[in-house]
Amino acid sequence: MIVFPAIDLKDGEAVRLLKGEMNTATVFNSNPAAQAKEFEDAGFEFLHMVDLNGAFEGRPVNRAAVEKIVKTVSMPTQLGGGIRDIKTIEQWLDAGVTRVILGTVAVKNPELVMEACKKFPGKIVVGIDARGGMVATEGWAETSDLKATDLARKFEDAGVSAIVYTDIDRDGLLQGCNVESTANLARAISIPVIASGGVASVEDIKQLKLVEDAGIEGVICGRSIYDGRIDAKEALSIASGVIEAK
């Protein structure tokens, strides 16, 4: 199981939000590339990034910060936020991003996801952000009438590498990951699922590790790493099975 440290980019800085609200941003590092290097030096092997401004504006905004991060670290990276067309996907992959995450467009134009999977095999991740089990879009500003599991099933045979499942109601609040919902989604589909939202301690990583066989590929950790609630070495040991989850 992969532990993905998260760098959420707002105005070129690494921040964290509460429930996705832009006006709740806390700046954790004004140098995101240096933060990424810290994560790599701590032993993390895959970086998760979100262009927050891009998610709201529907186009890439924090390009300079992302490009600097990619040049600074050697570990693979995945990026979401404001990626709504094939050209933008291609630009990010050409810039060195390993995988792109499609969220809003997966709801509004699923055919584009299918096309992207064919054109860029192994490079496309779908981001499903849910509020009360219903999919949210446009940087979480809108909630649809589509169930998370129904959206995920649309991409069963498309070639999607993974699904990042975020419980918005818990995001940034350190209330614990919604392990049950994440595992239920993973069991309902054959695509690997990455858990996101609310991860508060290594206990969440242990609980996810226990249901890894449901199809859990990894877990994204944000605020809990920045404020020291999660120790990198312990988290990575649990995720890899060196420390047994009980």
Beta-carbon count within 10 A of 111 CB = 9
Tell whether the torsion through CA atoms of 19, 82, 51 and 215 is positive or negative.
positive
* Among candidate residues 93, 101, 208, 91, the one with its CA nearest the CA of residue 155: 101
DSSP letters along the chain, please? -EEEEEEEEETTEEEEEETTEEEEEEEEES-HHHHHHHHHHTT---EEEEEHHHHHHTS---HHHHHHHHHH--S-EEEESS--SHHHHHHHHHTT-SEEEE-HHHHH-HHHHHHHHHHSTT-EEEEEEEETTEEEETTTTEEEEEEHHHHHHTTTTTT--EEEEEEGGGTTTTS---HHHHHHHHHH-SS-EEEES---SHHHHHHHHHTGGGTEEEEEE-HHHHTTSS-HHHHHHHHHTSSPP-
- Catalytic annotation, residues: 8, 129
* Whether the Cβ atoms of residue 113 and residue 126 lie closer than 8 Å to each other: yes
